[in-house]
Amino acid sequence: MEARVRDSRTAVITGSTSGIGLGIARGLAADGCNVVLNSFTDSDEDHALAEEIAREYAVKAAYLQADMADGAACRRLVDETARRFGSLDILVNNAGIQHVAAVEDFPPEKWDAVIGINLSSAFHTTAAAIPHMRQCSSGRIVNIASAHGLRASPFKSAYVAAKHGMVGLTKTVALELAEDRITCNAICPGYVLTPLVEAQIPDQMKTHRMDRDTVVREVMLARQPTREFATVEQIATATVFLCSDGAAQITGTTLSVDGGWTAQ
């Protein structure tokens, strides 16, 4: 099946072989974009996933391995995407990890890893993407931050610092590119029901001695007033909108998809 002609844009999404990143890749592919998937592995399954998306949505798709803890690898990912597809129109910085501990007990190597993958990688990919986007006289950068980019929680010092930093990076990049028809925005999800979050529910049930519905509503979604998870598809829809012509004058801002968390 031939690739669609209605949209020749190319998007690279970091950390996109599962969860939110994969949902965004599918959403952009459904909108007609060519997509590049990424993770730190390089398995047959990774490449098969790209092939599946290409078949399902009739677009071009590829998988490129890159360790987001390595700044040079982040930049190579962007440059290789542009080389293979002829342009780079959309960059979605989604890769991230988490570690939970009190500040005084937080392992320094974990701090460095969280800051590196969650924040520094976005700096490197963005810096590499800007020249390619300027060649096209347009572009979209979407940073997947978090409600923790706007609010804090105990025991998540590195994650909160990184996500606050991503929001600040978003604003700075938007101002620097304001006259270049390149927008930069951040999406700030609350709890999203991904396979990773789903896997945490049984442990939470044991810890709190609650059934599934109660532990979801009263523990995991305690700060989310709707008491409902956001979905991967909702984050993807928000991303597709920010990459659309209708969002051309939206830049340097945050879009919260958090069930009212940050309204409190």
User: Which residues are catalytically annotated?
Assistant: 159
Cα–chain-centroid distance for residue 157? 20
In whole angstroms, what is the distance from residue 122 CA to residue 141 CA?
10
What one-letter code names the amino acid at 67? D
Tell me the C-alpha distance between 93 and 21, whole Å: 9
Q: Is 12 in contact with 38 (CB distance < 8 Å)?
A: yes
In sequence order, the 6+-apart residues with CB closer than 8 A to the CB of 161 are: 115, 119
| Rounded Cα gap, residues 195 and 148, in angstroms | 20
Q: From 149, 121, 139, 135, select the one nearest 39 (Cα to Cα).
A: 121
Assigned token pair, 128: 């590499």
- Which ranges constitute the DSSP H helices of 116-210? 121-136, 157-176, 195-208
42, burial (CB in 10 Å: exposed 0-12, middle 13-18, buried 19+): exposed
